[in-house]
Amino acid sequence: MATTRDPTDLRGQESDTDAQQHRHDTKQRQETEDLKWMLAHRQGRRIVWKLMGDAGVFRSTFNHSGSVMAFSEGQRSQGLKLLTAVMEHAPEAFTLMQKEAKAHDD
């Protein structure tokens, strides 16, 4: 059951906002640590590389059908978010993933 806060209780509202920000920051830190852990392992890097490839990060989403292209661009957007996180938190892992994928293809 949701509690109703007094709209004039500015300290209470500030406290709620601080608590929400703390939960958000904690979640972000955990997600970053989880990603770093995954990228520290060859199996994790293979999974991340496959997810980015399946999302279409490395190819064009152009299609004559607008709905197909919109769907593909939505997938690509998610893949780009993953790529951005990798490049922000573990850029060396991206280079390593490229080398490992190339070695696997050869």
pLDDT, tens digit, 9 for 90 and up, residues 21-48: 889 999 999 999 999 999 999 999 999 9
d(CA 17, CA 25): 12
Q: Are 100 and 46 in contact (CB under 8 A)?
A: yes
Rounded Cα gap, residues 2 and 8, in angstroms: 18
What is residue 74's predicted lDDT score, i.e. its pLDDT? 97
pLDDT of residue 18: 83
What pLDDT does residue 3 have? 65
Give the DSSP H or E segment for 12. Answer: helix 10-39
Give the model confidence (pLDDT) of 43-78 as tens digits.
Answer: 999 999 999 999 999 999 999 999 999 999 999 999
Residues 6+ apart with CB under 8 A from 69: 61, 62, 63
